[in-house]
């Protein structure tokens, strides 16, 4: 009985150590588990995959370094998918602290696929006023972004000459760590009927399933699992995919801890 | 060389923050203060370079006519907002707050109705029997639709407070709680996954970028 009661009083530092080892060991022993992509991620993949070459995809960076481990892998995977299909990318962001992350990923992947700035991709940067930015871009992108992030007028960039409103953008992909994804749906989708895919942290992803069910968004990439699925679909297994084994191991560990904690709690209660 | 140096700095700061899990210590405090200070500085620079300078200062310098003089209104409202720090003039900040609240409410109400409430209500008008493909496929979709419609109705009943939750209303609202709990459980499960993902990201950084073990 004593041992069972001890289960409810395990030192939290021991739990942290076991948790740390559970994350570490699958990496050290290179263990990987088979995965079947989630339907909502497959839906997002298919929407992008069926776009004809030359279509414009707008990507919004609405997260920062705190969400990087989850969201950055999905940004890389989507960029690889878009560039491999010769789609054009316009990137912007509503989170100023995330702008450097967007630039880093865009330049990395563009280099990988030999894409040229101004012809294949453009970085617009950040403008304040989330809702006002989204609404005004529906009328004319230049009313918000007269120039790109580096101060080049938009009309001097070949790719931007025929891009003026959401009508010229095939799909908008929002990478989110907060409520900006809701704004994209409420302003760009509801007012301008813009097709939207949302990708974001696992904390915000559950709130988007109603949008998926009502077809206000055409795909959903949620958390590290969603990123891993997309990496799998574009046949470029990277950070997220290899992170799924530690993720699965930790989930099993947490379930075990919950069961043990409850056994200990019940034993203590019975004694009282 | 610079990359190696910054990788070591990042690794040190990661371990310093993790050290809090053992107990509070000077390394943790040091890392925490660096984080707060650098975030504040970054925000300040960004607000200056992406908000105040291009929108207000450059706007005043390069715009003409209406586009130039309209900028007086946000400039004055911004100064009013700062008046919060001067007690005798603090009341002026309410004008700026009133403008912000009014604008946000106007935008928010339209957006919520047009972009959330109406489409979500429309999406619950579902057939309770769908004939599509095989019998089992049809049954699966029909059950999904039924659960969705039932869940929406009983959850709304849970938030009906004008009558005591007894009898039929009590039973419906209790069913509503079950659906709400399932939703909370799903959200909690996702949140656990998110937090573990952050740990995985840091551990991968330590063993891959810093120690080069994997």
The pLDDT tens digits for B36-76 are 999 899 889 988 988 899 889 999 999 999 999 999 999 99
pLDDT at residue B1, as a whole number: 81
Say if the Cβ atoms of A243 and B115 lie within 8 Å.
Answer: no
Report CA torsion sign: A74, A78, A81, A83.
Answer: negative
When mean pLDDT is compared across A40-44, B55-59, B180-184, the lowest value belongs to B55-59
Say if the Cβ atoms of A225 and B114 lie within 8 Å.
Answer: no
Please check the confidence at residue A68 and state whether its pLDDT lies above 90.
Answer: yes
Cα(B16)–Cα(A218) distance, integer angstroms: 42
Cβ-Cβ contacts under 8 Å for B169 (sequence gap 6 or more): B157, B160, B163
- What does pLDDT average to over chain B? 94
Say if the Cβ atoms of B204 and A201 lie within 8 Å.
Answer: no
B202 chain-A contacts, CB cut-off 8 A: 69
Give the total residue count for chain B.
214
Cα(B19)–Cα(B1) distance, integer angstroms: 27
Report CA torsion sign: B143, B149, B154, B159.
Answer: positive
Which sequence spans correspond to the domains of chain A?
2-31+246-271, 39-237
Query: Please, how many CA atoms are within 13 Å of residue B32, restricted to the half-sphere of its CB?
Result: 10
H/E stretch holding B19 reads none
Query: Please, how many CA atoms are within 13 Å of residue B135, restricted to the half-sphere of its CB?
Result: 0
pLDDT at residue B46, as a whole number: 84
Which whole number is the average pLDDT over A160-179? 97
Say if the Cβ atoms of A23 and B199 lie within 8 Å.
Answer: yes
Please check the confidence at residue A7 and state whether its pLDDT lies above 90.
Answer: no
Cα(B120)–Cα(A216) distance, integer angstroms: 9
Cα(A92)–Cα(A72) distance, integer angstroms: 15
Interchain contact B119–A (C-beta under 8 A): yes
pLDDT at residue B55, as a whole number: 87
When mean pLDDT is compared across A248-257, B42-51, B170-179, the lowest value belongs to B42-51
Plot region of A125 (φ>0 → left; ψ -120 to 50 → alpha; else → beta): left
Please check the confidence at residue A5 and state whether its pLDDT lies above 80.
Answer: no
Which whole number is the average pLDDT over B201-205? 95
Cβ-Cβ contacts under 8 Å for A260 (sequence gap 6 or more): A7, A10
Which whole number is the average pLDDT over B107-112? 92
**Could you tell me how far CA A12 lies from the centroid of its own chain?**
31
Given B123, B183, B191, which is nearest A203 (Cβ)? B191
**Could you tell me how far CA A146 lies from the centroid of its own chain?**
27
Confidence of residue B214 (pLDDT cuts 50, 70, 90): confident
pLDDT at residue A1, as a whole number: 60
Please check the confidence at residue A2 and state whether its pLDDT lies above 80.
Answer: no
Pick the CATH number of A39-237 from 1.20.120, 3.30.1890, 3.40.50, 2.60.300: 3.40.50
- What does pLDDT average to over chain A? 95
Cα(B50)–Cα(A168) distance, integer angstroms: 26
Plot region of B204 (φ>0 → left; ψ -120 to 50 → alpha; else → beta): alpha
Q: How far apart are the first and last CA of chain A?
A: 13
CA distances from A79 to A82, A95, B72 (A): 5, 19, 42
Share of chain A above pLDDT 90, in %: 88
CA distances from B47 to A181, B35, B40 (A): 22, 18, 11
Interchain contact B4–A (C-beta under 8 A): no
């Amino acid at each position: 009985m004593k041992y069972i009661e001890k289960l409810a009083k395990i030192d939290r530092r021991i739990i942290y150590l076991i948790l740390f080892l559970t994350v570490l060991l699958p990496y050290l022993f290179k263990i990987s588990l088979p995965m079947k992509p989630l339907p909502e991620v497959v839906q997002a993949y298919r929407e992008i995959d069926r776009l004809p070459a030359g279509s414009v995809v707008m990507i919004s960076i609405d997260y920062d370094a705190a969400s990087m481990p989850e969201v950055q892998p999905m940004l890389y995977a989507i960029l690889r998918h878009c560039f491999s299909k010769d789609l054009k990318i316009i990137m912007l962001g509503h989170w100023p602290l995330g702008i450097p992350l967007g630039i880093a990923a865009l330049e990395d992947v563009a280099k990988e696929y030999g894409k040229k700035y101004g012809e294949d991709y453009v970085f617009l940067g950040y403008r304040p006023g989330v809702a006002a930015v989204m609404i005004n871009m529906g009328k004319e992108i230049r009313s918000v972004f007269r120039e790109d992030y580096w101060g080049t007028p938009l009309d001097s960039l070949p790719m931007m000459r025929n891009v003026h409103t959401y009508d010229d953008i095939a799909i908008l992909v929002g990478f989110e760590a907060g409520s900006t994804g809701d704004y994209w749906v409420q302003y760009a989708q509801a007012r301008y009927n813009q097709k939207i895919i949302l990708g974001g942290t696992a904390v915000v992803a559950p709130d988007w399933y109603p949008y998926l069910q009502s077809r206000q968004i055409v795909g959903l990439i949620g958390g590290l699992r969603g990123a891993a699925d997309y990496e799998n679909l574009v046949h470029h297994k990277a950070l997220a995919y290899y992170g799924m084994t530690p993720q699965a191991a930790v989930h099993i560990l947490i379930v075990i801890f919950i069961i043990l904690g409850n056994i200990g709690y019940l034993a203590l209660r019975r004694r009282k | 060389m610079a990359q190696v140096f910054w990788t070591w700095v990042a690794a040190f700061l990661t371990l310093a923050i993790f050290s809090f899990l053992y107990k509070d210590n000077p390394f943790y405090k040091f890392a925490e203060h660096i984080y707060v200070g650098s975030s504040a500085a970054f925000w300040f620079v960004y607000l200056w370079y992406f908000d105040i300078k291009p929108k207000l200062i450059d706007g005043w310098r390069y715009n003409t006519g209406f586009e130039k003089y309209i900028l007086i209104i946000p400039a004055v409202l911004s100064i009013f907002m700062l008046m919060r720090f001067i007690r005798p003039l603090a009341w002026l900040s309410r004008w700026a707050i009133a403008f912000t609240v009014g604008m946000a409410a106007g935008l928010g109400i339209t957006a919520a109705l047009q972009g959330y409430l109406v489409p979500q209500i429309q999406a619950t008008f579902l057939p309770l029997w769908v004939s599509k493909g095989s019998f089992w496929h049809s049954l699966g979709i029909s059950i999904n639709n039924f659960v969705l419609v039932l869940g929406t109705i009983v959850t709304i009943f849970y938030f009906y407070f004008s009558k005591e939750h007894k009898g039929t209303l009590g039973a419906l609202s209790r069913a509503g709680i079950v659906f709400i709990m399932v939703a909370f459980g799903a959200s909690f499960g996702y949140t656990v996954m998110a937090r573990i993902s952050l740990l995985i990201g840091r551990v991968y950084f330590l063993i891959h970028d810093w120690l080069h073990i994997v």
